[in-house]
Amino acid sequence: MRKVEVVAYNPQWGEMFVAEAEHIASVLGANVVAIHHIGSTAIPSIHAKPIIDLLVEVQDIGQVDEYNGAMERLGYQVMGEFGIVTRRYFRKENSEGVRTHHVHIFPAGSEQVQRHLMFRDYLINHPKDAQFYSKLKQDLAQQYPTDIEKYMDGKDGLIKILEQKAKDWFQEEQL
């Protein structure tokens, strides 16, 4: 049973992302197009589970499987697609068994990449919505301290609303 922990923003999360991105880039090599910091740890001033989410865009998603052993040597558990077609997902825990990193790898420019980046950028640019999301996460973590599924389910409705707002905002910005 994993504890649901949501903590105040930590400015070191950005540095942790950069360090881990360098490790991952060294493993995946020339296949990497870009590595992005996503998830709540990428949004200044909001509460988050202290897990660094990295989104890696690659030229050839099939080639990623060839690096599973190298990712395991970095401490990652290989999860395959893990419910999302064309994704490769890896997760890492520290020596105490606490999750520290998630790596989501997608083909460059995929719809999933766009969705994650729009969501992140929308919340960075709309602090009221970001704080509303932050408060919900804090409340859910308090309500479901040992039930990650209920925590995730509790966020789902708001995430869908924010994703639509992000998509609309992004389209307006393109005009």
Provide the CATH number for the domain around residue 140.
Answer: 3.30.460.10
What are the pLDDT digits (tens) for 119-166? 999 999 999 999 999 999 999 999 999 999 999 999 999 999 999 999
- For residue 2, being part of any structural domain is answered with no
Give the domain extent around 103. 12-173
For the beta sheet containing 76-78, the strands, ordered from the edge strand earlier in sequence to the opposite edge, are 32-38, 52-58, 99-107, 88-93, 76-78
Tell me how far CA of residue 80 lies from CA of 69, 103, 118, in angstroms. Answer: 13, 11, 24
35 found inside a domain: yes
The DSSP symbol for 126 reads -
Domain count along the chain: 1
In a domain? residue 5: no
- 57 in a structural domain: yes
pLDDT in tens, 31-88: 999 999 999 999 999 999 999 999 999 999 999 999 999 999 999 999 999 999 999 9
Within a 13 Å sphere around the CA of 83, how many CA atoms are in the beta-carbon half? 1
The Cβ of residue 119 has, within 10 Å, a number of other Cβ atoms equal to 22
d(CA 78, CA 103): 10
* Residue 2 scores a pLDDT above 90: no
For the entire predicted model, the pTM comes to 0.95
Looking at the domain assignment, is residue 3 inside a domain? no
